[in-house]
Structures are given as structure tokens and as C-alpha cells.
Structure 1
Amino acid sequence: MTGWVKDFKILIGKKVLTAVCLALLLLSQVGAAVAQQVEPTRLVRIDLDREEQLARLAEMELQIVAQIGTAEGGFVVAALADESQQRELVKADYTVSILDPAPQGASYYLLYGLPDELSRAEEVVPPLVVEGRQAVIRATPEQVSRLDALGVRSMLLVPHTIVVSPQPAERLLPTSLTPSPVVQRMIDHVTSDTLYNYVGQLSGEQPVILGGVPYTILTRYTPTGQPIQKATRFVYEHFQALGLPVGYDYYILSGWNLEKRNVVAQQTGEGQPERIFLLTAHLDSFSGDPYNLAPGADDNASGSAAVMAIADILSRYHFDCTLRYVLFTGEEQGLRGSVAYANDLQALGENLQGVLNLDMVGYNTPGTATTIELHTRAGNAGSAIAILFADAVDAYNIDLTPQILNDGLSFSDHSPFWDRGYAAILAIEDWQDHTPDYHRTTDRLGTLHMSYYTRFAKAALATFAHMGCLLDGELAGTVSDAVSGNPLAGARVEARLNGTSQAVEQTAADGTYQSVLKAGSYTVAFSAPHHRTETVNNVQVASVVSTTLNQGLQPCDTVEQVSFSATPSTSPVGQPITFNASVGGGAQPVSFSWDFGDGSTGSGAQITHAYAAQGLYSVTLSADNNCLFPVTAHRVALVGDRFTFFPLLSR
């Protein structure tokens, strides 16, 4: 074998060996990639003892399907995890079990119901997780329809990553509640008629007027086009009419690929606007025929109408913190609207300090206990809101029985705020006595228990008012005759702050008055017919509480009329004129003030004045014996070749 042949064979051998090695390496990489691609994802159950463990799940970016609180204060998390994530969970000492080995293409739902309701649900579809009143199932739309027919509440679960944010560092929610006369006045303005009217408009019992044209809202189902657009526009215009800044918060309704919107109105705080509190409800509805008829009077026109009515009242008052009134859509599709909004707030870094969410607050069987449920989650600061709500019911003697349930019920629009570390609660009717028309076309206005519903709305208003840093206080008292002691009806009470009138009240038949005022130092003037006007300076009004200011007025005879004469009756420029005042009725002493219409003034019953230029002048005389208001008379003077007075009526 020649040398070059030998070298050629060696070269060829090396190339073949290199090619084989490269091929094997490529095959191993492809195999690894294929293995990675086909690594199965499973729905797993992860049991947590405490909320802090959620942070580790957030770092792993697991897709969370459900998060349910346990009676012991822990959590059950249902999450989608591949094999490597499952190994990582086990390595981190989490308790992990497989719920569904093949979740591809599956739809999962959260169920909520009483034990017998969940037991009936098992006959339709076996649950994957059951904790208290909540269960997670894998179901088809047909199975969900059967569950709705059984009265079992269901909600589509949308996988999402956990976002853990720290609770706001500064929390100033009151730890106890002292009843305020200002808040009591607010409560008194919540009426059944208002709530009835708003629910009737939202549920299609009566048309609404939009752009001057009547429209009947027969459904508020989020995937619809015009109906949900009209419903959101209706509440938008309602908040706008209150003078509140209002806007739409847009999001994409995944699965339908539709742009939808929430409605957000804001009452900006005066001293601490960065501290934000939300009053929320979901506006959308659902039924067995959702595209055509889903009145949703209880679920959840009742909550939405309560938010509207509360905004009507609170928007008239002053708050140090910012209040927002938010109505969500997409709740029935898996809290889509509230998830999007909570994400927006967190991305903006806003200092959200509390959320009070109202969902189904209008039904109670007449003659039964008026129970309401306040749902919290272990480790969430919302428990302070629930306690405040219960305290408000007690402090204002509202005939309700609150039950605080620390069960982590994630069945409404408060839940996305929990998931992001914000304090929140759900306020809802007693589920052991909830509406039998849930998710049916028969969920109509006539099924609501208006007395129960009105009390629920009053309690929600009281709670939210105490959450929001109320600035207003009350000035109250009695105006009476200083000699007889009898109350003076129709007396005038005017409060002025820095020289500007802030409120004018008239006393009732018993002489009492109440005036809501922003905290500050006031000058208060009291007046009544045939009584001397009295002014009190440096009256201190404090926030939330009532300041008492009683005032006695000395009786007197009010000046009935005043007139004056001028001598001579004609006068050229520069010649003095003598003015003489006279009064009819009224106790002495009477003071007289003159305005000669040329910038000159004077006082006294008789006075002399000369005009420096020819012209037409209005002369005004005021007579005051400090008994009610000054009485005035006017005359017009023509100074020059002729000087003539034209008498006008006095007042």
C-alpha cells in the first residue's frame, strides 16, 4: 500500500468517525428535545400550611387553576405542572398528588354549595377536590348546565400565575367603630325605592334612557355585543351624572377574543389621595339563555345597584382617602374583568388598601333569619374589613346577622385581589338561604326581599364610609327664644368657613338643626323673625363626630320699613344735601348706614352729603336694630341742573 493511499484511508476513517460522532450527538440532542416536548403536564394538588408558601409557587411560574382555603388556615392549590416542576415541588417538601393525568383540552370549574348540593353534584361529575363548601371539577358545558339546574353555583377556572405582593405597609383601618351621626345620616338616605328602581333598570323591568333613546337591558351576558355595551354605558352615565370622574377599563375576554370593559368611577381623596379603597360588584349576568334573557336581578344587579346607590350618597361628602366604585364584567366567565383590573393596579403600583365586594345581596326568605356572609382568607388583611362590617351592623342597629367565614371562598371578584396580596372581602347573602332562581331567567326583580336588601346596602355604605377616611363632621343643636325657652321653628343657621358660606339650614318644628360640615373652625350666625341675630366665632367641627351648639335668641321687634327724605329737593353740583331717615316699627336702638352711589358712605339718622359731579346716583339706606336682617330703601338722584328723587319700595 502506497503512502498516499494509506494517508487517504486514515483521513477517510477520521472523517467517518467524526461524522458518526456528530450524528450521535445530534440524535441525543434531538432526543432530549423530543423528550422535553412530550414531557407530560398534569393537574396536581399541592397542600400548603401557610400563605407564605405561595411565594415559592410564584417563583416556579406554575399555572394555577384553583386556590382554596382550608378550615385549618392552609390552602389547597390545583396547578398544572410538568414532570420537572413536580420533581421540584417534591424536592421543596410540598405535598403533591395527581388530580388529572391528562388535562390537555380540559375545562375546570369551581363549585360552591352546601354539603347536600355538592353531594348532588357528585352524581353529575365526580369532584377532583372538595374543601368545605367548595369543589373543583373537570366538566363539559352540558354537565355544567345540569349542575346549574341543581342550583349548584359554578365558575369557569382560568389558569393563571400566582402574583404575590406585600400587604401595603401602612394600614389605617379603624380597629373599632364608634357610631357617627354623619354616617347615620348617610344610612338614612338609602331607600328601598332607589334600589328597586336601579335593579329594575339593570334587569330589564323598565327601560333606561341612553342618548335620549329608551333601551331595555334584557341581558348583561359579557360575550354579547350591544346588551353588555349598553349596560356598561348606563352605569357610566350614572356615575358621570354624580360629577365623578369615570372611565372604562378595557381587557380581552380570552376564549371569545373580544374586547370588553369594566366601569371605574373615582372620588379622589383630599388629603391622602394615594390611599385607595374599592367598592365593587360584577355587572354581568348569566342564565340558561344568556344571549337573549339573563335578568340577573339578584346575581348581580343587586350588588351593582347597591354600589350605584352608595355612590349617590357618598359623592356628596368629603373623604381624605380615594374611593373608587368599580363594576366588573366577565365575572361569569372566570373573573376576567377583575383579574385584568387587579393586574393593572399592581402594574401601576397603586396603594390599594381595601376592597369590599358585593355579590348577590338581595334575597332572603321572608320570616327567616336575616343572615349575611362575610368571606375572608387566612393571612389576608381583609379580616379587618369583615370585622368593621360586623361592627357597623351592630353600631347602627341594622337588623342583620353577619357571619364571618374565614374559608377563602374565591368565587367572586374579590379573589383576584387576594391573589395579589390586597385586603378584600366578599359580602353575600346567606348561601343556606340563597335565591332559588340562581342563573335562571326567573331571577327577576319581584323575587328580591327588599327590606333585607336595603338593610344590606345600608350596612355596606356604613362600612365603606368608615373605611374611606371621612372628613366631614356634624354641627347640631337647638335654637330657642332666650326669654321663654321655647324652640324656634324656621330659624336660619349659617356656617361660614374663612368668610365663605358652607351650609345654611333651617330649624325643624322642635327648633333643632343638623349641618354636615368638613372639619374646621367656623363662624355660625343664628337668626329668626322678631329675634336678634347672634354670631358665634371659632366653632370647632371635628371629623366623623357631632359638635353641639345650642343658641338662644333675644326677642325683639323687627324694623318693618324704612324711608328717607332729602333737603333741598333740588341741588346743583357741590351743594350739600341733608338726608333724614325714618323707620316704621322695630325696637330701638336702630342704626342707619348710607351708600350715596358715588363711592361715599355714611351713618346716622341724619347726614349731609354733596356730589362733586353731575350724574345719576343710586342712594341706599339700611336700617338695622340687630333683629333679623337690615331693611333697606333706595332712591335715584339726578345731580346737575335738576335734582329729583324717585322713591322705590323698601325691603
Structure 2
Amino acid sequence: MKKIFIFSFCLLTSINSFSQKIINRDPQIEALVKQISSDSLKKFDEKLVSFGTRSTLSTTTEANRGIGASRQWVLSKFKEFAKQSEGRMTAVLDTFTLQPDGKRIDKTIAMANVMATLKGTDPNDDRIFMVSGHIDSRVTNVMNRESDAPGANDDGSGTVAVIELARIMSKSKFPATIIFVVVSGEEQGLLGANFLAEKAIKENWNLEALLNNDIMGSNNSNETNIIDNTRIRVFSEGLPAFEMDKKVGAIRQYGVENDGKARQLARYVKETGERYVDNLEVVMIYRNDRFLRGGDHTPFVTRGFSAVRLSEMNENFLHQHQDLRIENGVEYGDLPKFMDFEYLRKNTGINLATLANLAKSPSMPQDVVLDVRGLGNSTNLNWKAPKSGKVKGYYVMMRETAMPYWQKKFFTTELKISLPYSKDNYFFAVQSVSEDGNESLPVLPRVGLRNAGE
């Protein structure tokens, strides 16, 4: 008789219930997370601030000031880390030119994203996982290119997190490729991210996930005066922006409006991040971004990629997009002294755990099908093996339709499963699992109405 191993996760329980939860950590990933240093992050952040301003419109010719100098410094760090990668990591300035647009670009400017690519070790695995932050900063007037704009948190925090991830992960081997990117032009309209997303389309990248980090290093808010370094937000789109007209029928019929690519990635970030980072809760926000704001994940989302934004739980707007000043005894400005680098360490760990677990996993199972040919109170699923990676088996994930997180996982070594749960009452998905227990992103099944060949 076939054995099915069941793992129950108490991700969401009622207030009166309690169940045991076993946490299994990959020793390699656990060791990498422990290497993240709040002192290292602080050192990198203070160096970024030392360039005075990193406005997209600022100088590119001075050695120690402006966007040009700061990009060259990040490139030098990536190249330094590449030396410990045994040739797997390369680093470049990915340059392009923009003309005046009558909006936030008032002259021809030389743009550049700073990219470090850690090539995967499996030649049959073409998957790419990417992590990003934006290097540019601003003051109150987005066109002000001269005044000091420290940008310690917006988005020095995301930038130094990417640098720290490159420092640590460059020494390790992963089957899939990881790209560490610091983009320019976010404050002028997501310019660097738009360029990069379009490049991914043109070059046919198999980009499976993007983690965008923006404003993730402060633990307190203005107005509400909440101080909390135990939670981080992950923003994710629900309904897909890409080719929505082609998908809306199936979404309505099968009720999967809460199961788009970004939402699945957000669930993965929560489960995996909390597995490896203690005393930190990943809070899923069911929006692509905040009101009146935008982030560098959006150009990827709108092109059909799976992308999410990670941000601190309680933003302080006294220290974002502000001229440096003191008014009525209140200090304004995005300075390092308003940062919590221990909080940033934990938030960086969420990124590392997610990236490493994804890059070590097999690719996703193929052609996952939910058999609905007959009436009944059971569920039958089948699928095909992934294109790459060594597979120990598969997790079949299950949750009630009104639940935000996966509630149960069933492990099987076969390419099919029959479960005594009604397909009408639950959502299901399937993950490939490596020999070390690393899970791929989940795949929702397509609905199979006929036998093959009919």
C-alpha cells in the first residue's frame, strides 16, 4: 500500500487551538543566514550616505559625490565579492541613456543598473532568481540634484541588503542563477527597473521570482508612534495585470483570484523566511504597493513576472523624501541615526533564506492537473516531473478556500495523489522537493475535464 506522509503547518489557527509545529532547516541556508552582519550593513549604509546625494540627476563625473560615484562603489564591492566565487560571479554596470521627458528627466542622462550575476552550477537549469534595491535618493523636490539626500533608508536599506547578500552568497554554489541588482532612477519613475524588466523580456529570461527591497530599515512610525522590529511587510498583487483579459474567465470560474504568481511568491516568502529568521513575522499585504507610491517590482509584475515588494512594517515619513532640516524641534531627513540595523539584519535574512531555498530547489513540477471528470468527495491530482534538479518527491499543498496560507502538506514520491478531501472545498498546489528538502514555487493545477486523447 502506498504511503503518504502528512506534514501539518499551524500557519493560521484559531485562538483556542494549538498544534505542534516542526521546523526543519537546511543547515547550509541556516549557516548563511547567520553570517548576515548588522555591523556590515551599517558600514555599507554609511558609505552610501557619504556620497552626499544619489539623485538620478546628480553628477556622474565627481569621484566622491553623486550617483555616478555611488554606482562605481557598489560595482567595486560586487567585483570584490566575485573574487571569492571561483569564477561563478560576474559584475557589470548595465548602462543606457534617457532623453528629457518633460516630467522628471530634464536633460539627457546616463543611466546604469549595477548587477552581479551568480551563475548556477546546473547547466540544465536556466532559472533566474533576482533580488533588488534602488540606489537613487531624493529630497523634497525630486528635481533637486544638488542638496544632500542621504537616503539611508530609502533606499539605502534595500541597496545595502543586496550588497550584503552578494557578499555572503557569492561563496556558495546553487543549481540556479541568482542576480543581485541595484537599480537607478526609481524616484524619477521606476526607470532602471523598467529598462531591466524589458531586457528580461527581450532576452527571454526564465525569471521565476523577484524580491524587491525598498525602505526596510527603520522600526518606528510617525503619527502612530509604533515601535516594532518584529514584523516586515510583503506586498503582492492578487489578480494578474499581465494578460488579464485571457485569464479572467478561469479566475472567476474556479475562484482563484487570490492565487496569482505574486501572491504565491508572497506565501513562499512568509513560510520560508519565518523558517530561518527568528523573532520576525512576515505580514502579507494584499496590495501590489502602498497608496500613492510605487516600487521597482511593478514593471516586472506588469510584464507577467512573479515579483513582490518587501518593506518595513511602520514607515516614518519624517525621514523619507525630506530636505534636511529641524522645524519646531522635529528633525527631518533620511539619516543613518534613524535606522535599526538589527532589524535590517533580520529583514535581509528573509531575502537570503528565500533566495537560497529557491535556488537549491528543483524546478517546478510540470503540467499539474486536477481531475474533475466525475462527481465525488475526493481529489485526484497528477503531474509531470520538473525539467531540472534532483527530486526527492513532491509536496501537495492544501488550504480551505477562505484561508490565506497553505494549511497542510502531503508528501509523495509519485507523480499523482488521491486525497480524501473534496476538490470543491479546498485549493491545492504542488511543489517539487529536493533531496535537502528545498521546495520549488508551488504550481496550481489546471482543471482537467477530459481523458487524454478525447
Which TM class, normalised by the smaller chain length? 0.5 to 0.7
CA RMSD in angstroms, aligned pairs only: 2.2
* Correspondence 1:210-609 to 2 at 5 A: 217-226=51-60, 227-243=66-82, 244-255=89-100, 256-271=107-122, 272-288=124-140, 289-365=144-220, 367-368=227-228, 370-378=230-238, 379=240, 380-409=260-289, 411-430=294-313, 432-440=314-322, 441=324, 442-469=333-360, 543=436
Deviations along 1:561-613, one digit per CA (max 9) or x if unpaired, are: xxxxxxxxxxxxxxxxxxxxxxxxxxxxxxxxxxxxxxxxxxxxxxxxxxxxx
Written as runs of structure 1 = structure 2, the 5 A alignment for 1:53-64 is none
Instruction: Report the CA distance shift for 1:327/1:273 in structure 2 as closer, same or farther (over 3 A).
Output: farther
- TM-score, normalised to structure 1's length? 0.42
User: Is the partner of 2:198 in helix, strand or coil?
Assistant: helix
The 1:298–1:369 alpha-carbon spacing in structure 2 relative to 1, beyond 3 Å, is closer
Matched to 1:396, the amino acid is Y
Aligned to 2:403: none
1:164-203 → structure 2 map (5 Å cutoff): 178-203=24-49
Quick one: structure 1 residues 543 and 370, their matched pair in 2 at CA, closer, same or farther if it must change by over 3 Å? closer
Q: Which has the larger radius of gyration?
A: 1
Per-residue deviation, residues 346-384 of structure 1 (Å, max 9, x unmatched): 011111111000001100128436321111111341222
Q: Measure the CA separation in 2 of the matches of 1:397 and 1:312.
A: 19
The 2-side partners of 1:370 and 1:290 are apart by 36
- Cα distance in 2 between the residues matched to 1:428 and 1:393: 14
1:542 is displaced (CA, Å) by 5.6
Distance 1:357 1:351, change over 3 A: same
Separation in structure 2 between the aligned mates of residue 417 and residue 299 of structure 1, nearest angstrom: 20
Q: Structure 1's 436 and 315: CA in aligned 2 closer, same or farther, altered over 3 A?
A: same
Structure 2 CA distance for partners of 1:462 and 1:375, relative to 1, 3 Å: same
1:464 maps to a residue whose letter is L
- SS, match of residue 126 in structure 2: strand
Structure 2 vs 1, CA of residues 189 and 357 (structure 1 numbering), >3 Å: closer, same or farther? same
Whichever residue aligns with residue 126 of structure 2, its letter is E
1:351/1:450 Cα in 2 relative to 1: closer, same or farther (>3 Å)? same
Identify if the C-alpha distance between structure 1 residues 397 and 284 changes in structure 2 by more than 3 Å, giving closer, same or farther. closer
TM-score by length of 2: 0.60
- Deviation, 1:178, is 4.2
Q: Distance in 2 between matches of 1:312 and 1:444?
A: 24
The size of the alignment, in residue pairs, is 288
Opposite residue 303 of structure 1, the aligned amino acid is: G
| C-alpha distance in 1 between matches for 2:351 and 2:153 | 16
Runs of 4+ in 1 over 4 A off after TM superposition: 541-545
Q: Provide structure 1 residue ranges, at least 5 long, that are not aligned to the other structure.
A: 1-175, 205-216, 472-540, 546-651
Question: What CA distance in whole angstroms lies between the structure 2 residues aligned with 1:236 and 1:192?
Answer: 21
Distance, in Å, in 2 between the alignment partners of 1:397 and 1:297 is 23
Decide whether the 8 Å contact of 1:331 with 1:337 is kept in 2: yes
Q: What code does the residue aligned with 2:339 have?
A: L
Change (3 A) 1:223 1:177: farther
Distance in 2, Cα, partners of 1:544 & 1:238: 32
| Letter of the structure 2 residue corresponding to residue 261 of structure 1 | A
Q: Deviations over 1:303-355 (max 9, x none)?
A: 00000001111111111111000110000000011101111110111111110
**1:76-131: CA deviation from partner (whole Å, max 9, x where unpaired):** xxxxxxxxxxxxxxxxxxxxxxxxxxxxxxxxxxxxxxxxxxxxxxxxxxxxxxxx
Q: Secondary structure at the match of 1:236?
A: helix
Change (3 A) 1:362 1:369: closer
Following the alignment from structure 1 to structure 2, what is the Cα–Cα distance between the partners of residues 240 and 233?
Answer: 10
Identify, as 1 or 2, the structure richer in strand: 1
Deviation at 1:246, TM superposition (A): 1.0
Task: Determine helix, strand or coil for the equivalent of 1:354.
Answer: strand
Write out per-residue CA displacement over residues 200-232 of structure 1, whole angstroms, 9 at most, x where no aligned residue: 10111xxxxxxxxxxxx1111011123111111
Retained in 1: the 8 A contact 2:277–2:349?
A: no
State the one-letter code of the partner of 2:97.
Answer: I
Percent identity over the alignment is: 25
State the alpha-carbon separation in 2 of the partners of residues 544 and 382 from structure 1: 23
CA distance 1:278–1:197, shift in 2 (3 Å): same
Structure 2 segments unaligned to the other structure (5+ residues): 1-21, 61-65, 83-88, 101-106, 221-225, 241-259, 325-332, 363-433, 439-454
Q: In 2, Cα distance between the equivalents of 1:433 and 1:460?
A: 19
